[in-house]
A and B are shown apart, each in its own frame.
Chain A
């Protein structure tokens, strides 16, 4: 059994999600190779050779991968698929965009967002926004799998000794052009890797009020998240959305502020170790999953929290 993991990077460094996907691949029980498509990717490649469990790093370094689109990355994976029994990627917007294209071209039914490996052909995946867990067995000879990163520990990036192998780029004769990207500059840690997250909902009332979360996030080293209602209302940008159709997170501590706790939101955060809810409605469903609930007006609670955290960190 040999598995190929598609690496995800931003042109400078590997995305952490790839390390979780590698762990899932290792759980299949065979060798694991990594494929990097990039341009001037030498630094990224070098950093991946120490990832535990990686045998070979395949590198396609070419200008067509400067802004990799699904069509070209899929073509590259398809070219190498015959050497593998499994192809995996993290279930990020990048992995979700590319892998179904690979699977369909190879006449394989992809297995989406697995949270567990039962055996090399049997997997666990959440359905209905995580309200049910299905165990599914794939009849396809090749397995094409996306991995829910919160369900697998990241592979360590120290003890490995992978070899590097250069491979040629593969062009896809499909007319798609990268125009531009508008990336959010994050001052706080990335949502999917943060140890603590503080999220605001519709109860925050405005984007301006979201600033009240910043000093708290800063004190706690937390990332800021949001409910769909807060994103739809334009308080914050789309990449902060936590939930079934946003990001799936599982931090040590999740603080929900002015969020009611709709199942679609819970689907994205109920794997958190400890959940705190701050809501003025004592019957809000979020309290049913919260370890610690504080019933109160957030416009009173947040300033108190900021003040208490300041005195806490000033050594009180």
Chain B
């Protein structure tokens, strides 16, 4: 069966985020970008399903600027077969991303789409659910375990009170949580091999879908910074401060 994995290119999680002086957004010039960590987990899961003989083809997709080819190449080096870049320099919000992905799903007919549960830049946590809704497919979000058997997928979900296990008919949409797996490292030979794998570029405009933003960013600000407090010498002083100064115990 075929699996589609959407990958978002985001500012690397180690980068210290700075708000632009004109408050229009965050500083993106000269910062390191990588694949959204949850999407690396999604690729890894697809590759493991392929190694287990369940998946026969992995197609990775990114929607974003030309530079997003890098995250797609990395995914190809990890084991994906083919990549598609839906190229745009415009801001594409989750609903529009889901609409573009729906179109690709109709063309590619995957049995499973694995997305990250959230992108670490915009923290929206929506795209997978939105895609499932538009396709009218079942969804298994925040997955920490997947078992595929007899045309169904059993998804173990990380929920606030513990775990929930759902059984979904395929085709379905799954979003990854952190503990689904630990992605492997890229090897140099695989990076070289990936250069020969197909990466198709399609201008977003050619897909004929209205992707105009529905949310207008009015202003972006720094949150209030906490000030470092004091160091206390021992437990007695600590409890004293908490009781008489902070009055929280």
CB distance from A21 to the nearest CB of B (A): 14
**Residue pair B178, A232 in contact (C-beta under 8 Å):** yes
CB distance from A66 to the nearest CB of B (A): 13
**Residue pair B130, A294 in contact (C-beta under 8 Å):** no
Contacts of B163 in A (CB 8 A): 181-183, 238
Beyond A100-B130, A238-B163, A239-B160, is A295–B231 a contact (Cβ under 8 Å)? yes
Contacts of B109 in A (CB 8 A): none
Contacts of A276 in B (CB 8 A): 238, 242
What per-residue 1/0 map shows which CB atoms of A190-222 lie under 8 Å from chain B? 001000100000000000000000000000100
**Residue pair A122, B218 in contact (C-beta under 8 Å):** yes
**Residue pair B161, A293 in contact (C-beta under 8 Å):** no
* CB under 8 Å from chain B, chain A span 228-253: 228, 231-232, 237-239, 244-245, 247, 252-253
Residue of B nearest to A110 (CB): B126
Q: Which of A74, A220, A287, A292 has most B Cβ within 10 Å?
A: A292
* A138 to B158 CA separation, bound complex (whole angstroms): 30
**Residue pair B138, A175 in contact (C-beta under 8 Å):** yes
* A48 to B84 CA separation, bound complex (whole angstroms): 50
Partner of B133 from A74, A111, A134, A179 at Cβ < 8 Å: A74
**Residue pair B123, A244 in contact (C-beta under 8 Å):** yes
Stretch of A39-47, A52-60, A80-88, A302-310 on the interface side: A302-310
Contacts of A252 in B (CB 8 A): 248
* CB under 8 Å from chain B, chain A span 93-129: 93-94, 96-105, 107-113, 122, 126-129
**Residue pair B218, A308 in contact (C-beta under 8 Å):** no
* A312 to B242 CA separation, bound complex (whole angstroms): 12
How many chain B residues touch A (CB < 8 A): the figure is: 80
Beyond A126-B223, A294-B234, is A274–B242 a contact (Cβ under 8 Å)? yes
CB distance from B6 to the nearest CB of A (A): 15
**Residue pair B138, A71 in contact (C-beta under 8 Å):** yes
* CB under 8 Å from chain A, chain B span 122-145: 122-134, 136-139, 141-142, 144
CB distance from A259 to the nearest CB of B (A): 15
* A253 to B120 CA separation, bound complex (whole angstroms): 27
Contacts of B154 in A (CB 8 A): 179
* A127 to B221 CA separation, bound complex (whole angstroms): 10
Chain B residues near A (Cβ < 8 Å): 11, 13, 16-17, 19, 26, 93-96, 98, 117-118, 120-134, 136-139, 141-142, 144, 154, 157-169, 177-179, 213-223, 226, 228-232, 234-236, 238-239, 241-243, 246, 248-249
Q: Could you pull out 8 A-B pairs where Cβ atoms are within 8 angstroms?
A: A70-B141, A99-B129, A101-B133, A128-B17, A134-B217, A239-B158, A253-B248, A293-B231
